[in-house]
Amino acid sequence: MPATVVVGAQWGDEGKGKVIDILASRADVVVRSQGGNNAGHTVESGGEVYKLHLIPSGILYPETLCLIGCGTVIDPKVLLEEIDGLRARGVTCENLRIDPRAQLIMPWHITLDAMKERSLGSGKIGTTGRGIGPCYMEKAERTGLRMGDLSRPDVLEKKLRSAGEAKNEMITRLYGQPPFDLDAVLEEYTEYGRRLAPMIADVSVLAWKAVQAKQDVLFEGAQGTLLDLDVGTYPYVTSSHPIAGGVCTGTGIGPTCIEKVIGVAKAYTTRVGEGPFPTELDGEMGDLLRDRGHEFGTTTGRPRRVGWFDAVILRHAVRVNGLTGLAVNKLDTLSGLGTLRVCTAYRRSDGALLEDFPASLEELAECEPVYEDLPGFEGDLSACRSAGELPAAAKAYIERIEALCGAPIVMVGVGPARSQSLER
């Protein structure tokens, strides 16, 4: 397996964790390059369920080197809790390395995330509340603290006091909240630094060396294409670049290192948080799909919004990521629902038929999905162990969405376990 990128092709939660875990059985290195603990990746292994937020989903293989790159934002408290939680379950984190350039989520970022959402009222983004946006803002402002600062007490203190004082000003004056005790924050982060120092290493160098040595390297995307800061449904997006291009800046490698890009999608669509969702289903069918698919957020537990498969957003994902293949999960969830609808294009209010995802929310608001109805299928798909065993209508559904998306479907998911992924 060459250097392979795995990205979310919809609005996140497509089952990337599962796909990474499966591919990681053959990988030497797994790299996370963007996002933070807004992500929630579920891996089922040996009857156990693991919910990973920051740590790459390759961690369940003790030999695999797991890297967290410079484009990520790290809440050190959450990272240590995750490491401790895994260790308590017998999963070693000896092979985990974090880039010194990765930004640190500070307690004020979490407060500012909440305050900003509150001030937006009904216009809120519906963030995960993990401080992601404010941390990336501070990075762009060039005043952020980075992982490497944790092991230099003088630098840590200087930067922490400077950033903390500025943010305390904002928190007290703009939002009327109490300031942070910077001595206490310094003490807390110094302790995190002591524990995390042995794991800090230059991920750009490690990833490059692995690629040069022709090792199998997997890049694990978090979030999804439509949550990308530039090509997603702005402003209802996250603050990083979950698309394949983000892997380069977020790891510190060049695009020539990447050979394959796999997009992960569900056989229908889900979204957590606010923002447009053309094929969203309200009412009974929506409730049924949510219940059948257990569509509740891995990180926040919020009910996910659900809808029909949207080939327009998938074509967008194929283009902006340069997808070489697609993994389609949760086909099992669609069984027994009757006729299935697939959105093939959008009809704009002036009558124009759009094949490509519109660039603005205003134009998107003028669009209605154009549906094609496909015969449904029955029975328990979760027992299928090869694509050939799928019912004829399920095969036809996969073939039709493959034709509409314009990328080969290389894997079909019929359940959360490793054995329930069918190669095509």
Our finding on whether 148 is near ligand GDP (CB under 6 A) is: no
Contact between residue 52 and residue 59 where contact means Cβ atoms under 8 Å apart? yes
Residue with tokens 């796909």: 19
110 or 155: CB nearest ligand IMO: 110
Per CB under 6 A, the segment of 13-21, 99-107, 247-255, 394-402 that binds ligand GDP is 13-21
Our finding on whether 300 is near ligand GDP (CB under 6 A) is: no
State the catalytic residue, choosing from 13, 21, 28, 216: 13
- Cα–Cα dist 387/318, whole Å: 23
8 or 252: CB nearest ligand IMO: 8
Our finding on whether 329 is near ligand GDP (CB under 6 A) is: yes
Minimal distance in Å, beta carbon 286 to ligand GDP? 17
Our finding on whether 34 is near ligand IMO (CB under 6 A) is: no
- Cα–Cα dist 167/138, whole Å: 10
Binding test (CB under 6 A) with ligand IMO, winner from 222, 312, 331, 422: 222
Our finding on whether 272 is near ligand IMO (CB under 6 A) is: yes
Binding test (CB under 6 A) with ligand GDP, winner from 97, 305, 330, 424: 330
What Rg do the C-alpha atoms of the chain give, in angstroms?
A: 22
Reply yes or no on whether 291 is catalytic.
no
Size of the residue set binding ligand IMO (CB under 6 A): 24
- Cα–Cα dist 63/424, whole Å: 28
417 forms bridges with which residues in the sheet?
44
Our finding on whether 126 is near ligand IMO (CB under 6 A) is: yes
8 or 131: CB nearest ligand GDP: 8
Minimal distance in Å, beta carbon 39 to ligand IMO? 3
Minimal distance in Å, beta carbon 370 to ligand IMO? 26
Pattern of binders to Mg ion over 30-49, x per CB under 5 A?
----------x---------
Our finding on whether 131 is near ligand GDP (CB under 6 A) is: no
Binding test (CB under 6 A) with ligand GDP, winner from 3, 5, 6, 16: 16
State the catalytic residue, choosing from 21, 28, 41, 310: 41
Binding partner of 55, given ligand IMO, ligand GDP, Mg ion, none, CB within 5-8 angstroms per partner class: none
Residue nearest to ligand IMO (CB): 273
Reply yes or no on whether 373 is catalytic.
no
Minimal distance in Å, beta carbon 59 to Mg ion? 16
Binding partner of 38, given ligand GDP, Mg ion, ligand IMO, none, CB within 5-8 angstroms per partner class: ligand IMO
Intra-chain end-to-end CA distance of the chain, in Å: 16
Binding test (CB under 6 A) with ligand IMO, winner from 111, 127, 225, 324: 127
- Cα–Cα dist 315/344, whole Å: 10
103 or 127: CB nearest ligand IMO: 127
Residues 39-98 that bind ligand GDP (CB under 6 A): 40-42, 44
Residue numbers annotated as active site: 13, 41
Q: Which residues bind ligand IMO (CB under 6 A)?
A: 8, 11-13, 38-41, 125-128, 130, 132-133, 222-224, 227, 238-239, 272-273, 298
